């Protein structure tokens, strides 16, 4: 992490603060670095506009830490952390949450287990204590575990006939074959029944620790109190995690095309290729170019070429995805089965065009203006703001990133944009199409896991 201007530790409270002016959508605020007496760090924004406190946090690990053959372990653990903890069973625990209108959520991505806590200021102590119990002494009792498992399996059954879900699983499996990223984060119909309470306890023991934790707090509370709450809530966690090493991996070679037959009205299409790391000097140039290509919704090139000009789809979009061990550009759309080939050809042609020609100066200027203006509008709640601050920590952007962001965008030149467009979007795509196949496509690689067509 890029530490900026750390002030001396305050003798009276044992809390270190770093204050930097920013301007979120609501009002000017200070992002402070708070270090608790016990050494736990958080980024903090004091905001007394309303008597609410929001906290977001993330532990490195995620579904990449799922044991072999038990994909979905991290997801199932996250879904059951608040199903009873300490001496509180699931019913009592949820009654405590509901009585005080405390909002607590956990989720898992490929790299992280994330948590969210939101409460009224007057319920602060109880909310943080309930979170402490969930993190340090979850019960994983049989009844709630089997109830959540049944809900997960029901969702997976529905997804097994959903074109978008099938395409997503096939896309990730092809992009990162043999790597933990290839596994579905929420598991499979085969793996979830194998997960036992002991697996969940082991996952929590290995991943929930202080050394792989990032925290942000926004709301009506002072810095000294935040420091005390950090120690109370997270101080009982192990100092060191025991993560299984995860190797870096390149996105699969492109171009590749996979077709999964499924008898549905619309064909779901996913496409992508190798992306760019978040710490790459060219990342912001790539981010701007992606906005021009497909991130700008109604203003993007793909939307103009694929929908407006040809009427092939209702919507089409693209984004950059960066992870701890790889990165990609990723896009999605859906269309009639007889238009799937033309849709993919049009997408490929537009990606090739921008890789060869780059954007225009007008496109670059308009994208810069939008990206600078839209950032603060996206941070219009304490929970969103806290989530962004956690992400900036995970990405090692520095506590002054919001101050520097507009300057980073302005520094991108047309030559930068053209260079990065050629680097990223000039190598073809890996595509997965799920739907009816009206004609044989000799260039397509049939999915080895294609399901039987369903009515």
Tell me: pLDDT of 116 over 80: yes
Is the domain of 230 the same as that of 260?
A: no
**Cβ-proximal residues to 398 (8 Å cutoff; 6+ apart), any chain:** 1, 2, 3, 4, 392, 404
- Residues 268-297 have a mean pLDDT of 96
Is the domain of 151 the same as that of 278?
A: no
Is the domain of 263 the same as that of 218?
A: no
Is the domain of 188 the same as that of 315?
A: no
- Residues 432-452 have a mean pLDDT of 59
Task: Please check whether residue 425 is in contact with residue 354, taking contact to mean a CB–CB distance below 8 angstroms.
Answer: yes
CA-to-CA distance for 233 and 135, rounded, in angstroms?
8
Is the domain of 289 the same as that of 151?
A: no
Answer whether residue 239 is part of any domain.
no
Q: What six digits make up the tokens of 194?
A: 């194998």
pLDDT digits (tens, 9 = 90+) for 148-175: 999 999 999 999 999 999 999 999 999 9
- Residues 340-353 have a mean pLDDT of 97
Backbone angles phi, psi at 20, to 5 degrees: -135, 135
Is the domain of 317 the same as that of 437?
A: yes
Query: Quick one: what percent of the chain has pLDDT higher than 90?
Result: 86
Backbone angles phi, psi at 441, to 5 degrees: -125, 100
Answer whether residue 283 is part of any domain.
yes
Banded pLDDT at 341 (limits 50, 70, 90):
very high
Q: What six digits make up the tokens of 294?
A: 């497909």
Sequence-ordered alpha helix ranges (H) in 208-322: 223-234, 283-290, 301-302
Is the domain of 393 the same as that of 442?
A: yes
Give the β-pairing of 213-219 and 52-60.
antiparallel
Answer whether residue 382 is part of any domain.
yes
Q: What six digits make up the tokens of 261?
A: 């037959």
Is the domain of 67 the same as that of 182?
A: yes
pLDDT at residue 8, as a whole number: 31
- Residues 137-147 have a mean pLDDT of 98
pLDDT at residue 376, as a whole number: 76
Quote the pTM value. 0.88
Tell me: pLDDT of 132 over 50: yes
CA-to-CA distance for 334 and 354, rounded, in angstroms?
22
Range of the structural domain that residue 360 is part of:
256-446
Is the domain of 197 the same as that of 307?
A: no
Answer whether residue 413 is part of any domain.
yes
**Cβ-proximal residues to 444 (8 Å cutoff; 6+ apart), any chain:** 257, 258, 259, 433
pLDDT at residue 438, as a whole number: 61
pLDDT at residue 437, as a whole number: 76
In 288-303, which positions are buried (b, 16+ CB within 10 angstroms) versus exposed (e)?
Answer: bbbbbbbbbeeebbbb
Tell me: pLDDT of 7 over 80: no
Top pLDDT among 343 and 442 is at 343
Answer whether residue 242 is part of any domain.
no
Task: Please check whether residue 343 is in contact with residue 269, taking contact to mean a CB–CB distance below 8 angstroms.
Answer: yes
Averaged pLDDT score across all residues of the chain: 90
Tell me: pLDDT of 287 over 50: yes
Is the domain of 229 the same as that of 265?
A: no
Nearest partner of 309 among 317, 318, 300, judged by Cα:
300
pLDDT digits (tens, 9 = 90+) for 26-52: 433 689 999 999 999 999 999 999 999
pLDDT digits (tens, 9 = 90+) for 172-195: 999 999 999 999 999 999 999 999
Answer whether residue 60 is part of any domain.
yes
- CATH at residue 335: 3.30.830.10
Q: What six digits make up the tokens of 100?
A: 């005080």
SS3 assignment for 386-417: HHHHHHHHHCCCCCCHHHHHHHHHHCCCHHHH
Domain end, chosen from 234, 265, 283, is at 234
CA-to-CA distance for 292 and 286, rounded, in angstroms?
10
Task: For tokens 């000799």, name the residue.
Answer: 442
pLDDT at residue 165, as a whole number: 97
CA-to-CA distance for 393 and 251, rounded, in angstroms?
25
Nearest partner of 317 among 336, 293, 340, judged by Cα:
293
Tell me: pLDDT of 14 over 70: no
pLDDT at residue 374, as a whole number: 87
CA-to-CA distance for 177 and 223, rounded, in angstroms?
46
Is the domain of 107 the same as that of 192?
A: yes
pLDDT at residue 86, as a whole number: 97
Instruction: Reduce the DSSP state of residue 94 to 3 states and report it.
Output: helix
Backbone angles phi, psi at 94, to 5 degrees: -70, -30
pLDDT digits (tens, 9 = 90+) for 55-92: 999 999 999 999 999 999 999 999 999 999 999 999 99
Is the domain of 140 the same as that of 50?
A: yes
Q: At what angle do helices 283-290 and 401-410 cross, to 10 degrees?
A: 70
- Residues 414-436 have a mean pLDDT of 97
Answer whether residue 303 is part of any domain.
yes
Instruction: Reduce the DSSP state of residue 101 to 3 states and report it.
Output: coil
Sequence-ordered alpha helix ranges (H) in 50-162: 73-80, 90-99, 124-136, 142-159
Answer whether residue 246 is part of any domain.
no
pLDDT at residue 9, as a whole number: 31
Task: For tokens 């225009």, name the residue.
Answer: 360
Domain count, the chain: 2
pLDDT at residue 249, as a whole number: 98
């Amino acid at each position: 992490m890029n530490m900026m201007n750390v002030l001396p530790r305050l003798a009276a409270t044992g809390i270190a603060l770093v204050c930097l002016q920013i301007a979120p959508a609501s009002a000017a605020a200070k992002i402070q670095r708070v270090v608790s007496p016990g050494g736990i760090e958080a980024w903090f924004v004091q905001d007394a506009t309303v008597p609410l406190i929001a906290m977001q946090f993330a532990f490195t690990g995620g579904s990449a830490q799922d044991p072999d053959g038990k994909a979905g372990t991290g997801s199932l653990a996250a879904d059951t952390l608040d199903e009873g903890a300490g001496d509180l069973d699931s019913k009592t625990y949820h009654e405590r949450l509901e009585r005080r209108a405390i909002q607590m959520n956990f989720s898992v991505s490929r790299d992280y287990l994330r948590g969210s806590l939101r409460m009224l200021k007057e319920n602060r102590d109880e909310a943080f204590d309930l979170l402490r119990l969930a993190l340090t002494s979850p019960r994983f009792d049989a009844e709630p575990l089997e109830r959540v498992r049944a809900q997960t399996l029901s969702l997976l059954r529905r997804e097994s006939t959903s074109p978008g879900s099938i395409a997503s699983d096939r896309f990730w499996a092809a992009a990162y074959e043999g790597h933990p990223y290839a596994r579905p984060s929420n598991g499979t119909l085969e793996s979830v029944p194998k997960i036992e309470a002991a697996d969940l306890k082991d996952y929590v023991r290995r991943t929930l620790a202080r050394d792989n934790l990032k925290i942000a707090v926004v709301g009506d509370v002072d810095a000294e109190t935040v420091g005390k709450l950090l120690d109370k809530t997270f101080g009982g966690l192990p100092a060191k995690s025991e993560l299984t090493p995860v190797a870096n991996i390149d996105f699969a070679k492109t171009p590749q095309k996979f077709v999964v037959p499924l008898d549905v009205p619309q064909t779901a299409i996913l496409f992508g290729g190798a992306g760019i790391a978040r710490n790459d000097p060219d990342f912001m140039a790539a981010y701007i170019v992606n906005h021009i290509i497909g991130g700008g919704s109604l203003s993007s090139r793909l939307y103009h070429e694929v929908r407006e000009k040809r009427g092939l789809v209702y919507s089409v979009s693209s984004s950059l995805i960066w992870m701890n061990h790889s990165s990609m550009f990723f896009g999605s759309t859906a269309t009639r089965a007889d238009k799937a080939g033309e849709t993919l050809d049009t997408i490929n042609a537009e990606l090739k065009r921008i890789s060869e020609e780059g954007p225009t100066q007008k496109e670059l200027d308009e994208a810069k203006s939008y990206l600078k203006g839209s950032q603060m509008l996206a941070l219009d709640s304490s929970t969103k703001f806290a989530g962004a601050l956690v992400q900036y920590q995970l990405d090692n952007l520095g506590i002054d990133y919001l101050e520097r962001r507009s300057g980073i965008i302005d520094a991108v030149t047309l030559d930068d944009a053209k260079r990065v467009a050629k680097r990223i979007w000039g190598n073809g795509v890996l595509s997965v199409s799920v739907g009816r196949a009206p004609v044989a496509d000799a260039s397509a690689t049939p999915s080895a896991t294609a399901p039987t067509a369903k009515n």
